[in-house]
Amino acid sequence: MDRQLGDALAVSYQAGWYDDPQDQSQQRYWDGSAWTDNRRPRQGPPPYQGTFGQPAGQQFGQPAQHGQVYGGAQPGPAQYGQPQQYGGQPQQYGQPQQYGGQPQQPYPQQPHGQGYGYPGQRVAATPDGQQLSGWWRRVWARVIDSIIVGIIGLPFTGYFYWQYFKSVWAYMEDTMDAAAAGTPQTSFALPEDAYQWMIPAVLIGLVVSFVYEYFFLTRSGATPGKKALGIAVRLRDVPGPPPGIAVVKRFGVYNGLSLLSAIPLVGTLFSFVSLINYLWPLWDDKKQSLADKAAATNVVRT
């Protein structure tokens, strides 16, 4: 049935929201050539049901006339791709419909880039109507993923971090001993051997994080942290898991800014830009961070 109705729509109708042929309580998005998996509740009053116990279009105490169906429509099944008869009036998509001779207002169409949450509530959405994620869901999903990545990478980074902390602890003891002897140190920079352990640990952690994110996003669009919060990453204009190049761009902006913030002198500037990247979805009309804009992605509700 979907295929027959799809063939009919392909001839006459442009992309948009139409009544779902499988469930009349909701609408389904038609992309101009085929039905998508995006659905939403129908907006507007429910179809007229007629007098209690009677079919729509038949008034109590008034039986249908010979040769007519209830509601005044001519007998005969509606053909796919042809206007259907309800109460003697043709039904056109996007036009007021007739049920039992009474007009029904057309369902409201949301502006481009907006969808619906609760009835009457407009929420930010992708161009095809999928609701965008809020900022806090993204934050907590990233916290969960950071914990998971840290646990996964610990067998590879544990030794380096242990040596790093030993080096820092020895430096602190030397500093306190010098202060107790009356010769406090004037420089508080970490010793060079601390950096030789910290840098490999950070680089290994980045590799583990990239493999983790690339694996999950290119397959399902969501890491375990995002799945736990009910969100996913997709291209803004194309539903489904994002391609590998988009994942690389997104990861590169997020983590590139973090690495640049560790550079002496200019690190403060890049730290500020990294913070702005995280906060940008709070005021962006498309709910995109700077990394999302570079990769043309959106984080959406699933």
Question: Per-domain residue ranges for the chain?
Answer: 2-109, 135-301
Buried b (16+ CB within 10 A) or exposed e, 261-287: beeeeeeeebbeebeebbebbeebeeb
Which helix (H) or strand (E) segment holds residue 124: the answer is strand 122-124
What are residue 301's DSSP bridge partners?
Answer: 231
pLDDT number for residue 187: 64
Nearest to 285 by CA among 115, 154, 72, 124: 124
Amino acid making up residue 27: Q
- In the DSSP assignment, the letter for residue 45 is P
Can you give the pTM of this predicted structure? 0.58
Alpha-carbon gap, residue 146 to 137, rounded angstroms? 14
pLDDT number for residue 36: 85
Q: Is the dihedral of CA 178, 181, 183, 184 positive or negative?
A: positive
Q: Which residues, given as ranges, of the chain have pLDDT below 70? A: 1-13, 43-122, 185-189
- Residue 80 in contact with residue 2, Cβ under 8 Å? no
Q: Does residue 37 sit in helix, strand or coil?
A: strand
pLDDT number for residue 59: 45
Q: Is the dihedral of CA 42, 240, 16, 34 positive or negative?
A: negative
